Structure 1
């Protein structure tokens, strides 16, 4: 909100395309995983010692542990949300319909028996009805945006200033696709999300 530089208040801040709205907030989370950024503020409250590097390494490994399941979980939520809003006509009990939508994302049948449909508040509450996919879509975009900071330096001032000028300050002045291109100089690449959340494929095991 503080960085918006648009003439119409209703087009500032988070008043942007819904599959773009989560990009700035999710992008900021990346710096909490970078030692350079943590060293600026993460110190022991008594001794002043910096955040332990070995602890950060373990946290990064834990972040990726079974994260493929986390990605599938988000995909299943988004698929179910869209299916209920676009195709469900009451032709079958809604719980049965939900199970059919979730089954392709589950490792076995037991996983679809206990699903969150009765407590899935995003389905019809707030602005995420039929738009839950925007979480993962925005995550794909912000992971790609952050790849530039990883390349140029996570605290690189020029990249930060350009991000402010080309994205944060623009609100809904221009289509998100153009704002992304203005900052990155190209179209989005989903490989950035895969690299960050899942990492490179493991090396093949050596045969004794």
Structure 2
């Protein structure tokens, strides 16, 4: 299923794996904005394992249906000079940075709501800092319709093997976070380095 939006086509993909008797072994639903799938889809990373169980049975039709889904907010992005390794930002209970390789997916970081406001990825970019590759992302909470919001820059270092770790120096820098409103403008360009 797809729907045209200002940002492009929003696509919903439902993936089912069935056994010989057509029983659902697992199912997962993804939403994405004009992004390409990374093939092959890894069974280890596609299994619904959230608290809701992922699949419910309709009592009237006795058919299974998906109740759990993953929304890709940004990505996937290939890590430069790190082989076939990608990262993406997904939204379910939290905003998660997920690393994907041939062995499946690993959650690198999770960002929770702040004051009942969900985190939103404003930008993602990659740059070398002190000869090390970094993933830089600007996250905001709030800032809808001029009400103001909190911003924070998160940085992660990665190596040629695609091993990702937090850049603690940048992540602890208080000048890379702050509150912005109509009365108190925050230099967002500075936050995004």
Normalised-by-shorter TM-score class: under 0.3
Q: TM-score, normalised by structure 2?
A: 0.24
Greater fraction helix: 1
Greater fraction strand: 2
Q: Which has the higher contact order (CA 8 A, sep 6+)?
A: 1
